Amino acid sequence: MEKVEVRFLPQNKTVDAVLGSCLMQVAREAYIDIESSCSGKGTCGKCVVQHVDGVAEEPHHDEIRHISADNLARGMRLACRSKVTGRAEYHVPQGAGKKHRILSEGLMPRFTLNPNITKEYLELEKPKLEDSLDDVSRIERALKLNFSGKLPLALLQQIPGVLRSGGFKATIVLADEEVIGIEPGDTTALCYGAAVDIGTTTVVVSLVNLVTGGELAACTMINPQKNHGLDVLSRIQHVREHPDGLGELSRMARECIDALIGEACHEAEVERESIYEMTVAANSTMMHFFLGVDPSGIGKSPYVPAFTRGVEVPARELGLGISPFGVVYCLPSVSGYIGADIVAGILSAELAGKDERALFIDIGTNGEIAFSSKEKICSCSCAAGPALEGMNISCGMRAADGAIEKVFIDGDVEVRTIGGKAAAGLCGSGVIDAVGELVKAGIVLPSGRFVKLEPGNAPPWAHRLQNGGGPASFILSAGKNGHGPIAITQKDIRQVQLAKGAILSGILALLGKLGIGMRDIDRVYIAGAFGFHVRMESLARMGVLPHELLGRVTLIGNSSKSGAILCLLSKEKRAEAARIARKIEYTELSCFPDYDKLFTECLSFAGV
């Protein structure tokens, strides 16, 4: 196979690419971040690159549809529709170096510090003729423990050298009172752990001091797997269609986490080798990818995962750069679509056994809903899709500088962007705010269609509404500094309707199965960035949440990360997470009587 050099700017990265290969695939293999919400199908038009050196191909019909004639003439192409035809250089105009706003804070309840990892400093008596006890037994005697033959070979090989080089003064590292490591001298003050939240869209790593319980750093990154689909089903499909798809997605997850560990260690001035344990919370598919386990069973009926129990794995088996005898604990999940992230959230909100009837809602690409009372926890999952996170939206973007996050329609339109920059697109909270305001102003009807203005009826926003002779849309911002008009289209409204319908129907189906109504709910806990950055009144106008529940809402932030930290710092909380996972009952919505009818009714912006 003949290869040629392809260079990406501004990353200034050169790779050898096979002639005839897809440019998008070449970029992904080189870890160049190119936005694509359609998984390379040519339908979203967001993977725009500029051919700055070499000969650009004739434009594909998908490129003609998404890129203006002037920009095509300037070498603009879609990466998913471009082939490597020779040595070339491309500029990636979107996202290079852009800092995204990712929520890393979450509710943290009170707990007793009792980490799984502890250290004991020992000053052992040196062997002599009258006390010739072997090294291992000497450590057992000092710790008053019995190893029972459960000593890792690597540790056994280290013991004699460490003891003698340190004058028989050494620190023993224990995991739940089992010896896993030995270090020369007194290193008891250097004891750290990492709590990890792997989301479909974002990844968060928190560095924690296991001695004090304090969080030292929290670092975040967009999940690099997004290049193979914005939702878990698209990524599972990638595994089915590509021989090394599972290995590729697994490597992406681990390399992302390893990079964030390095960033957190640099920020906190901590050595990687002093991290002895990681706890991981994630949805079921992401957890499978992280461990390199095939998640294909989750992608089709009856949606069965390979495992749901908590799993402990040596960090070295996952290629993670922490202590050579570090361990990784993955929190338990419930089913294919109620993962360890939801178990972690319910743990951090302390809902298990709480004397209140509460709804727990985690809205992301997937929407998970749980009802908890003192007696039971029942759950369901709905496919909300990425629209509420700003994806699959014509002018959608991640939450970064220039993203419209708030919209006000009072006569005319006012928008507010992240960082106060020129409007470049709509992030998730901006999408919800925009639709909520359009519904409030009567611009979008309960059916989801744009209103048709009567002749002579010209409200201040009338010039923004394009509703005749082409695709209907509403212009929110004229755009400037190189950005075109930012508009929300009829197709975008439909995407939001589908997400809203999925969430509301999930809530109503779950409550219907339990024989209770909205009036019976004492408190609503909303997890994740969704609730943190959006106005509650916009949710009510859209009908994502019924008006009567708004006064009972508590925002708990990134509860998945909080739950992972709890399991890192408290053996009791870790045991409680296992009990919660066993307690949660899961309902498959497709089995709920007349669910299709309920879902259709929930699409209306007038509510149910």
Predicted confidence (pLDDT) per residue in 144-183, tens digit = 888 777 788 889 999 999 999 999 999 999 999 899 999 9
Under DSSP, the state recorded for 441 is T
Instruction: Give the Cα-Cα-Cα angle 580, 301, 345 (nearest 5 degrees).
Output: 25
Of the candidates 202, 259, 201, 230, the one whose C-alpha atom is nearest the C-alpha of residue 31 is 259
Domain span(s) for CATH 3.10.20.880 in the chain: 117-184
Residue 54 in this model has a pLDDT that exceeds 80: no
pLDDT bin (cut points 50, 70, 90) of residue 95 is very low
Quickly name the fold that domain 117-184 has: Ubiquitin-like (UB roll) (3.10.20)
Rounded Cα–Cα distance for residues 265 and 228 (Å):
29
pLDDT bin (cut points 50, 70, 90) of residue 38 is low
Q: Please give the order of strands across the beta sheet that includes 192-198.
A: 215-222, 202-209, 192-198, 275-282, 327-330, 311-314
Six token digits for residue 116: 């799984």
What is the model's pLDDT at position 267?
95
In terms of CATH, what superfamily is 192-330? Domain of unknown function (DUF4445) (3.30.420.480)
What is the model's pLDDT at position 105?
64
What pTM was computed for the model?
0.83
pLDDT bin (cut points 50, 70, 90) of residue 9 is confident
Residue 102 in this model has a pLDDT that exceeds 50: no
Helices 490-514 and 428-440 cross at an angle (nearest 10°) of 90
Six token digits for residue 571: 């053996």
Q: Where are the beta strands (DSSP E) in 102-168?
A: 117-123
Residue type, 515: G
What is the model's pLDDT at position 338?
96
Q: φ and ψ at 238, to 5 degrees?
A: -60, -40
Interacting residues of 37 by C-beta distance below 8 A, sequence separation 6+:
44, 46, 230, 386, 391, 392, 396
Given a contact cutoff of 8 angstroms between Cβ atoms, the answer to whether 434 and 489 are in contact is no
Of the candidates 39, 11, 38, the one whose C-alpha atom is nearest the C-alpha of residue 25 is 39
Quickly name the fold that domain 3-91 has: Ubiquitin-like (UB roll) (3.10.20)
Given a contact cutoff of 8 angstroms between Cβ atoms, the answer to whether 140 and 147 are in contact is yes
Rounded Cα–Cα distance for residues 170 and 193 (Å):
21
Under DSSP, the state recorded for 98 is P
What is the model's pLDDT at position 289?
98
Q: Which residue has the higher pLDDT, 60 or 33?
A: 60
Residue type, 471: P
Q: Which residues pair with 526 in a beta bridge?
A: 361, 555
Rounded Cα–Cα distance for residues 600 and 602 (Å):
5
Could you report the per-residue pLDDT of 327-336, keeping only the tens digit for each? 999 999 999 9
Cβ density class 277-312: b for 16+ within 10 Å, e for less: bbbbbbbbbbbbbbbebebbbbbeeebebeebebbe
What is the model's pLDDT at position 359?
94
Residue 81 in this model has a pLDDT that exceeds 60: yes
Over the chain, what is the mean pLDDT? 88
Could you report the per-residue pLDDT of 358-415, keeping only the tens digit for each? 999 998 778 899 999 988 999 999 987 777 776 778 888 877 888 898 999 988 899 9
What is the model's pLDDT at position 215?
94
